[in-house]
């Protein structure tokens, strides 16, 4: 389980980055959120630059309880495609495999 203080700190940083004018405006998918399996919980972040941007494809990011982040190397056309990639990876190798280096 992600400790509340660490989760708030990460969420605050994520929100601050999204509102920073040095970065493009971001849209977070409503299917982003917490996912747990086999006693391991992660934050699944699916986001993109606003649709008016030149490349409006979705990015998949998985954040561990320790705050380590893994970003999928490929962007995807829809947020549901991004979640499906995440889910297929969990089914194939387990949630822990997503966090291994």
Show the CA angle centred on residue 77, arms to residues 28 and 45, nearest 5°: 30
Question: Where are the domains positioned within the chain?
Answer: 4-99
pLDDT in tens, 42-54: 999 999 987 666 6
pLDDT in tens, 32-79: 999 999 899 999 999 998 766 666 899 999 999 888 899 988 999 999
Consecutive H or E run containing 91: helix 79-93
Please tell me the least confidently modeled range out of 1-15, 21-35, 48-62: 1-15
In the DSSP assignment, the letter for residue 94 is: -
Phi/psi zone of residue 28: left (φ > 0), alpha (ψ -120 to 50 degrees), beta?
beta
Q: Which residue has the higher pLDDT, 15 or 49?
A: 49
Longest dimension (CA), the chain: 40
In the DSSP assignment, the letter for residue 58 is: B
CA 24 to chain centre: 17
Burial class (CB in 10 A: 0-12, 13-18, 19+), 96: middle
């Amino acid at each position: 389980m992600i400790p509340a203080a660490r989760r708030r700190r990460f969420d605050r940083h994520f929100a601050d980055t999204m509102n920073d004018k040095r970065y493009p405006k971001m849209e977070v998918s409503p299917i982003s959120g917490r996912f747990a399996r086999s006693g391991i919980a992660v934050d699944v972040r699916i986001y993109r630059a606003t649709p008016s941007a030149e490349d409006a494809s979705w990015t998949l990011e998985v954040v561990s309880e320790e705050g380590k982040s893994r970003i999928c190397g490929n962007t995807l056309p829809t947020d549901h495609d991004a979640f499906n990639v995440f889910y297929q990876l969990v089914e194939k190798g387990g949630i822990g495999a997503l966090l291994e280096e």
